[in-house]
Amino acid sequence: MIELIQVEKTFDGVRAVYPLSLTIPKGQIHGIVGTSGAGKSTLIRIMNLLEKPDKGTVKVGEKILTYLSEHELRKARQNIGMIFQQFQLVLNRTVAGNVEMPLELVGVSKKERKKRVEECLQFVGLSDKKDAYPSQLSGGQKQRVAIARALANKPSVLLCDEPTSSLDPKTTIEVLQVLRHIKETLGVTIVIVTHEMDVVKSICEHVTIMREGKLIDSFQIEPQGLLVNEDQYIEDLRKMAVVKK
């Protein structure tokens, strides 16, 4: 579970997030939407304290992150994976090397690392790419490597900041399928910041809407499933065709 209590953040006089409280239950896929500058990225980064709130409390699982020292926070972050729009893979490391990184940082043995990297790559369907470099992968594959890396330390929370915004509709579905599989098989709580309504409609169970740093609404929704595919897009476009007389 993630609990934000009256968190707020101002950058150089610009209020990014007004005092805001939000509770996300364990195992939920929670979407955060809003137009550019609404404060979505700041809010999701507050959830793992990549952005420290000026005031308020951040609780993830049993840990109150805002009470922790830097050392304790680094440890607590092992429980919180994160992925980004631009994947942020290390380009001079192979796919396996990227997934191995968080394990190296916490001192996992070489043998255990190899085993865990294989498990994670298998989970995202990229075992055959373990020796490839990021430049040799498609956008969807890069994001799946980033997901495998985020899962390496077996987190209970996965934060996704615009995870599909650089991807085409087909690879978007590929990534969303992986995210849904993570929720269903691992029970991970997933937070997705996005401006893509199709993403919210297809997999989110709850949506929070932000505008100008404020939470303006938050409610449960019924995910429609991954219905959006290339053929459907083409069909929708055909329906919009203007018939010239």
- Which residues form the interface with ligand ATP (CB under 6 A)? 11-12, 14, 16, 34, 36-42, 195
195-204-89-54 Cα dihedral, nearest 10 degrees: 70
CB of 237 to ligand ATP, least distance (A): 26
Closest CA to 233 of 196, 202, 198: 198
CB of 194 to ligand ATP, least distance (A): 9
Closer residue to ligand ATP in complex, CB, 45/206: 45
Beta sheet of 206-211, edge-to-edge order? 80-84, 157-161, 189-193, 29-33, 206-211, 214-220
Q: Whose structure tokens read 């922790």?
A: 68
Closer residue to ligand ATP in complex, CB, 9/144: 9
Closer residue to ligand ATP in complex, CB, 54/118: 54
Residue 218 CB-half CA count within 13 A: 12
Closer residue to ligand ATP in complex, CB, 38/126: 38
Closer residue to ligand ATP in complex, CB, 153/164: 164
CB of 42 to ligand ATP, least distance (A): 3
CB of 43 to ligand ATP, least distance (A): 7
Q: Whose structure tokens read 């369907």?
A: 125
Angle at 235 between CA 229 and CA 239, to 5 degrees: 145
CB of 41 to ligand ATP, least distance (A): 3
CB of 165 to ligand ATP, least distance (A): 9
Contact predicate 228/169, CB 8 Å:
yes
Sequence-separated (6 or more) residues with CB below 8 Å from residue 136 = 129
Closer residue to ligand ATP in complex, CB, 39/81: 39
- Rg over alpha carbons for the chain, rounded to the nearest Å, is 19
Closer residue to ligand ATP in complex, CB, 84/123: 84
CB of 38 to ligand ATP, least distance (A): 4
Closest CA to 191 of 177, 173, 204, 172: 204
Closest CA to 58 of 155, 157, 153: 157
